[in-house]
Structure 1
Amino acid sequence: MGVIWLLIVGAAAGFLATRMMKVEASVPATIAIGMGGAVIGGLILRALLSVMGMFAGLIGAVLGALLLIWLWQTYGPK
């Protein structure tokens, strides 16, 4: 169940992050961005997750995905 939840949250977070950053990405790339963001956000916002519950996980995933997109746009292939 954890992998399915990661895919669902990753898809939602990736979709929100790509729209916020105005990035056109394929569905698999969007899910991968969201999953990467979920991992990054989960590490950064662990304390917030324990206080606010699963909603904080989505916030952390979106923030992590935004960071990942920014890093990709800044340092990725041109």
Structure 2
Amino acid sequence: MGGAILLLIIGAAAGFIATRIMRMETDIVTTIVIGMAGALIGGLVLRALITVMGMLAGLVGAILGSVALIWLWKTYGKRR
């Protein structure tokens, strides 16, 4: 029960802020629905971005590590 009330409050707040940013006049029910739907869409998009960025961060880390290893090899490796 408490979770549903919290969801309504957060949805109302998010919807209120979003409708003000977009300069849109809506009733309270529509504002709450917009906020809750926006939270769902935003949550899915955010999870997708975190997943992609996680993989991208792994690639960037691997490249940086490889570059550092090559630098160490050239700097302190076998001398001919």
TM-score, normalised by the number of residues in structure 1 = 0.55
Partners in 2 of 1:11 and 1:26 — Cα distance?
A: 11
Q: Which runs of 4+ in 1 moved over 6 A?
A: none
Give yes or no for the alignment of 1:39 onto 2:40. yes
% same residue: 63
Partners in 1 of 2:48 and 2:6 — Cα distance?
A: 20
Give 1 or 2 for the bigger CA radius of gyration.
2
Partners in 2 of 1:45 and 1:5 — Cα distance?
A: 21
CA shift, 1:43, in A, is 1.2
Q: Which structure exhibits the higher relative contact order, with contacts defined as CA atoms closer than 8 Å and separated by 6 or more residues?
A: 1
Q: Which residue does 2:7 correspond to in 1?
A: 6
Q: Which residue does 1:30 correspond to in 2?
A: 31
Equivalent residues, number: 49
| SS of aligned partner of 1:45 | helix
Q: For structure 2, list consecutive stretches of 5 or more residues without a partner in the other structure.
A: 51-80
CA shift, 1:19, in A, is 0.2
Partners in 1 of 2:44 and 2:4 — Cα distance?
A: 17
**AA paired with 1:31?**
I
Q: For structure 1, list consecutive stretches of 5 or more residues without a partner in the other structure.
A: 50-78
Partners in 2 of 1:48 and 1:7 — Cα distance?
A: 26
